[in-house]
A and B are shown apart, each in its own frame.
Chain A
Amino acid sequence: MAGTVSALGEFEQVVLLAILRLGDQAYGVTVRDVIADRTHRRPTAGHLYTTLDRLEEKGLVASKFGDPTPQRGGRAKRYFKVTAKGVAALARAQKSYQKLMEGLKLPGVAHA
């Protein structure tokens, strides 16, 4: 379909949610920390940066460079922000999961 974004992968959704959670403070280190903190898995640098690049190529996130900081050897941070298109894609993906989960009881899992 023209104008639509291909289905989001599971890790792409994780990264988008992490960026949304961080607001204005979303850059490589914080995104990785939030993912590690919330999902108990630490993505490799390769996996994280290629996913961020891919999301930007799809127009789902936008990035801009901040000011250089001394603790980073004078290197700027690359801040990420989820675009409106990214939010829509994420909402669509989450809705699909919810539809699949509707009325389903996973054995051994307590349901709210």
Chain B
Amino acid sequence: MRNARLAEWILSLVTTPERASATVGDLLEDRRGVLRFWGALLSAAVALLWRDVLADPGRMIRLALYGVFLELVLSLAMAAVVGILYGFVALVTLVISPGTHLPWGPDTPTAVATLGVIASYVFTLAAQFQVGRVLAKRSPGRELAPCIATTLVAIAIPVLIVLLSRGRAEFPTGQSIQEALYGSPATVSILSQIPPLATLLAGAARVRRQRLSSSS
């Protein structure tokens, strides 16, 4: 199905609404099948987005570093919140029934550990959404570009650390960064980047839509 409105919406994230409309009109006039329509649309959207990333490389790198810094701060905040929550629950448990064995580390029951993983993943996605919004507000007219730059820099930084340390760099927990990066299959590593990038872009897209609707 050629959902022209959806196509126009996607393109208007990376170009002006008038140009997006004219481009979708061209693709509709071309009449070369649904797959080619969407292929051409994505090709145009990706090319226009990449053009925005390269338009001002210095500014994009600064915004990307700021984005990575925000992601790091929010990750630390999440760790702090989880720690405080766990401490609070532990304190309440010990007050109610002193001498209770508190689950921690490998002793954590599977259900609790799963809940923790889900909660931290949801928090990570929410944080990415906010980072996307902040970056978009600092890049008027090119709202989505700093999100792509941030993701690329976030991927490049650990790779650089591994290369510069010749594979000896470790996280504070003692896990090798190289192992964390290359321990899982490449497809898993790439696929795991999609949800955070999608929410990062969703945050930026929201700012872009708000800006467009307020200017029209």
Q: B40 to A75, Cβ gap below 8 A?
A: no
The 8 Å CB contact of B47, one of A50, A73, A76, is A50
Q: A76 to B41, Cβ gap below 8 A?
A: no
User: Interface segment, A17-25, A41-49, A84-92, A99-107?
Assistant: A41-49
Given known pairs A45-B41, A65-B18, A78-B19, the reply for A72 and B47 (CB within 8 Å) is: no
Closest to B44 in A: A45
Q: B23 to A45, Cβ gap below 8 A?
A: yes
Q: A75 to B47, Cβ gap below 8 A?
A: no
B24 in contact (CB, < 8 A): yes
User: Interface segment, B26-34, B67-75, B201-209?
Assistant: B26-34
The contact size tier of chain A is 20 to 34
The prevalent SS among residues of B at the interface is helix
B200–chain A nearest beta-carbon distance, Å: 22
The 8 Å CB contact of B28, one of A32, A47, A75, is A75
Q: B26 to A46, Cβ gap below 8 A?
A: no
Q: A46 to B48, Cβ gap below 8 A?
A: yes
How many interface residues does B have (CB within 8 Å)? 23
Residues on the A chain within 8 Å of B44, using CB: 45-46, 49
Binary CB contact string for chain B from 10 to 38 against chain A (1 if under 8 A, 0 otherwise): 00000100110111111111100000000
Cα distance, A90 to B85, chains bound together (Å): 67
Q: A73 to B48, Cβ gap below 8 A?
A: no
Closest to A75 in B: B25
The 8 Å CB contact of A28, one of B4, B18, B22, B47, is B22
B46 in contact (CB, < 8 A): yes
The 8 Å CB contact of B22, one of A32, A45, A71, A75, is A75
Can you list 26 contacts pairing A with B, beta carbon distance less than 8 Å? A27-B22, A28-B22, A29-B26, A32-B26, A32-B30, A44-B43, A45-B27, A45-B40, A46-B43, A46-B48, A47-B43, A47-B47, A49-B44, A53-B15, A53-B19, A69-B25, A72-B25, A72-B28, A73-B4, A75-B21, A75-B22, A75-B25, A76-B21, A76-B22, A77-B22, A78-B22
Given contacts A28-B26, A29-B29, A45-B41, 4 further A-B contacts (CB under 8 A): A46-B44, A47-B47, A50-B48, A72-B28
Binding site for A on B (CB under 8 A): 4, 15, 18-19, 21-30, 40-41, 43-48, 51
Query: What are the 10 closest A-B residue pairs judged by CB atoms, nearest first?
Result: A46-B47, A75-B25, A28-B26, A72-B25, A46-B43, A78-B22, A45-B40, A45-B44, A50-B47, A44-B43
